[in-house]
Amino acid sequence: MAEGMKKGLSSSWGIIWIMFPVSLAVTLLKISPVLGWLSECCRPLMTLVGLRGETALPFLLGSVLNLYVAIGAMIPLGLTPKETTILASMLLISHNLIVETAVIRGMDAPWAALLLLRILAAFFMGYLLSWML
């Protein structure tokens, strides 16, 4: 039991070590003009799936890096349950694209088509959920 608790605390610390700095960085971006600029640039695309422009930041971070970084970026944005559901569903399809595309390339699969398919499927899922919710 002690070994399991030690592993659990170690894993938790690893996740906190990722999420806290990202949450802090996004909070700082909120008070700077950078998040507003990014929000305005991405607003037309994110509006198609029922999200605010600033949700592009966690979507991009989660798609390029991993889900823990995306969660850390989502926390300070104060998303509604609907926005959280849509964004989380999109990220479940398009998370960790760099690593997973590299794996697909190593298998000699059509990586560019599969990358595009994952991104389009994520936005299609977001669109469906925004329409249904």
Please give the mean pLDDT across all residues of the chain.
Answer: 91
Output the DSSP codes for 117-132. Answer: HHHHHHHHHHHHHHHH
Amino acid 113: pLDDT: 95
Confidence of residue 42 (pLDDT cuts 50, 70, 90): very high
82 burial via Cβ count (<10 Å: 0-12, 13-18, 19+): middle
**Interatomic CA distance for residues 29 and 84, integer angstroms:** 20
28-40 residues labelled b (16+ CB within 10 A) or e (exposed): ebbeeeebeebbe
Q: Say whether pLDDT at 30 is over 90.
A: no
Query: Domain map of the chain by residue range?
Result: 2-132
Q: Each residue of 59-98: pLDDT tens digit?
A: 999 998 889 999 999 999 999 999 999 999 999 999 999 8
pLDDT at residue 38 tops 80: yes
CA atoms within 13 A on the CB side of 3: 0
